[in-house]
């Protein structure tokens, strides 16, 4: 059973997104990618990477003179946990406000509407309705 990993800060999410996209990657590559978002020092990025290793999100291995970093957990697993936490804490375990917000704010594509219809139908078939 995997232990619950600590929450990620916004900067840690940015770094993890790079790692999830790139796979096994050097600190230098991660640093250069972060510069596209915000100016920061190389040592700052290295410190963040070391923290992510300590937190259990990344593993680090020596490859010649450089360190390579790779995710230890899938993005989908971390994202699912964060969504569940948000829905439980902010929305009091009710999804309707989330769907209503995005449906009103964004123009949904035909595919997105079809996916929502499919989810509603599946939910109805299972008999999942709250009292």
CATH number (domain holding residue 20):
1.10.10.10
Kindly state whether residue 104 falls inside one of the protein's structural domains: yes
In degrees and rounded to multiples of 5, residue 41 shows phi and psi of -80, 155
Task: Tell me which of 52 and 93 has the higher pLDDT.
Answer: 52
Q: Over the stretch 20-74, which tens digit does the pLDDT of each residue have?
A: 999 999 999 999 999 888 888 999 999 999 999 999 999 999 999 999 999 999 9
**Is 56 found in the same domain as 107?**
no
CA–CA dist 35, 14 (Å, integer): 11
- When comparing pLDDT for 107 and 86, which is higher? 86
Domain presence at residue 47: yes
Task: Kindly report the pTM of this predicted structure.
Answer: 0.75
Structure confidence at residue 1 (pLDDT):
37
For 59, the domain range is 10-71
Domain count, the chain: 2
Do 102 and 57 reside in the same domain of the chain? no
Please give the Cα distance from 31 to 13 (Å, whole number).
Answer: 14
Q: Which sign does the torsion angle of CA 88, 92, 94, 95 carry? A: negative
d(CA 93, CA 10): 23
């Amino acid at each position: 059973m995997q232990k619950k990993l600590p929450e990620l800060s916004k900067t840690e999410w940015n770094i993890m997104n790079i790692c999830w996209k790139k796979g096994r990657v050097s600190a230098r590559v991660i640093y250069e990618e972060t510069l596209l978002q915000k100016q920061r020092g190389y040592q700052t990025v290295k410190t963040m990477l070391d923290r992510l290793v300590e937190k259990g999100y990344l593993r680090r291995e020596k490859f010649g003179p450089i360190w390579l970093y790779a995710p230890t957990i899938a993005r989908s697993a971390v994202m699912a946990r964060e969504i569940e936490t948000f829905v439980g804490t902010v929305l009091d375990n009710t999804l309707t406000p989330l769907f209503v917000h995005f449906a009103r704010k964004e123009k949904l594509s035909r595919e997105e509407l079809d996916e929502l219809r499919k989810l509603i139908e599946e939910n109805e078939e299972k008999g999942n309705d709250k009292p």
